[in-house]
Amino acid sequence: LPPPLGENYLSEESKTLISSLLSYQDFVGKLCNYQGCWYFYNTLQGVINFQKNFKPQDTDIILASFPKSGTTWLKALTIALLERSKKNDRSCDHHPLESDNPHGLVPFLELSLYLQSSTPDLTNLSSSSPRVFSTHMPLHTLQVPLKDSLCKVVYVCRNLKDVLVSNWHFKCTTLKNTKVEGSFTLESMFDSFCSGVDFFGPFWENVLSYWRGSLEDPEHVLFMTYEDLKAEPRGQIKRLAEFLGCPFSEQEEGSGGVDKILELCSLRNLTSLEINKSGKTSNKVCNSSFFRKGEVGDWKNHLIPEMENKIDNIVEEKFKGSGLKF
Ligand code: A3P
């Protein structure tokens, strides 16, 4: 969802830039294409502020995804993994995931931190080394300020049909009682999704940017999938921990450390926490809206065969030769 800001947040420079970009009016707002990706106008300001001003630290971790691909889960898992090394320093017994939603703990660069300020205050994040950020930007856009930096990027990818259905449910929930409620349908979202003119789309460009990045630089870009996390959570969380430089010791594994983290970050546990039942993000989105079924293949309950075929054809065409299997 675009954060609730008007065009008056745009700098003069951005207004000039936008006037030169391809644009499109969808049911929520105006989108424009910057560096091959579609953004709502106000989000583009966040992207530009980030590209111009972000100063990476080599220990930074950036969690990336296309919206509705498992971002919340990846954030929770990363926080839980990093928290192990801090456990002894903590003065209170509360785990950060018990007092804040994963999106509050791992802010979005372009949708939160750099949205309203070109120089956001990152001191709170600096107190916890490494700093952990998140983004939906494609890798090439993210990489502009990351040049020569050693920071690590983790991408989570999800089956395109489940992403579409998850996004539709998310919009139905979050746009309820707003003036655009009722102005979109699953069919209209399907059309935007397939045309690629979609917030942070095209989906395939977003995925491929990270897939290629992970092949070129596996030490700094890790490519994960929601389906692998569901199918073999232990193996995948160990892979994530190793990539982040905080592998499980034999002792930790032996004492059930891996399972404890999986349980802490499970959909069941996170949805049972008060903060996720009643809290809201800084963009005023209910924390509860980030959790739904969390199943692989829920698209089968929503998409008709024609939709399925069209998406399968897109996947076939766009990912052909990439080595990436869906
Ligand atoms: P569904 O709508 O299919 O249930 P994102 O975090 O990128 O916004 O993606 C949201 C999707 O991830 C939703 O999928 C949501 O239910 C699922 N999800 C959120 N937290 C999860 C968790 N801890 N484990 C598994 N899936 C989770």
**Nearest atom, ligand 1, residue 169 CA:** 2
Instruction: Give the residue from 122, 118, 108 showing the smallest Cα distance to 50.
Output: 118
For a pLDDT cut of 70, what percent of the chain falls above it?
94
Tell if the pTM clears 0.80, that is, is over it: yes
Given 94, 136, 140, 169, the catalytic residue: 136
Alpha helices in the chain (DSSP H): 12-19, 41-53, 71-86, 96-99, 102-105, 123-126, 139-146, 160-174, 186-195, 203-216, 226-231, 233-243, 250-254, 257-264, 267-272, 274-278, 305-319
Query: pLDDT averaged over the chain?
Result: 92
For the stretch 281-315, pLDDT in tens is 888 889 999 999 999 999 999 999 999 999 999 99
Of 265, 287, 291, the residue with max ligand 1 atoms within 8 A of its CB, to mutate for a pocket test, comes to: 291
How does DSSP classify residue 137?
S
Can you give the pLDDT at residue 41? 87
* Closest CA to ligand 1's atom 24: 267
Separation of CA 43 and ligand 1 centre (Å): 23
Q: CB 15: neighbour CB atoms within 10 A?
A: 12
For the stretch 69-121, pLDDT in tens is 999 999 999 999 999 987 655 555 689 999 999 999 999 999 999 998 899 99
Mean of pLDDT values over 236-249: 97
Task: Answer yes or no: 136 catalytic.
Answer: yes
Question: What's the residue count for the chain?
Answer: 326
Pocket flag, ligand 1, residue 225 (CB < 6 Å)? no
Instruction: Write the CB contacts of 291 (distance below 8 Å, at least 6 apart in sequence).
Output: 72, 267, 270, 271, 276
Pocket flag, ligand 1, residue 71 (CB < 6 Å)? yes
**Angular region, 322: left φ>0, alpha ψ -120 to 50, beta rest:** alpha
Pocket flag, ligand 1, residue 73 (CB < 6 Å)? yes
Pocket flag, ligand 1, residue 226 (CB < 6 Å)? no
* Closest CA to ligand 1's atom 20: 73
Q: How far apart are CA 83 and CA 95, in angstroms?
A: 8
Question: Does ipTM top 0.95?
Answer: yes
* Closest CA to ligand 1's atom 27: 294
Instruction: Among 11-20, 149-158, 308-317, name the one with the lowest average pLDDT.
Output: 11-20
How does DSSP classify residue 7?
G
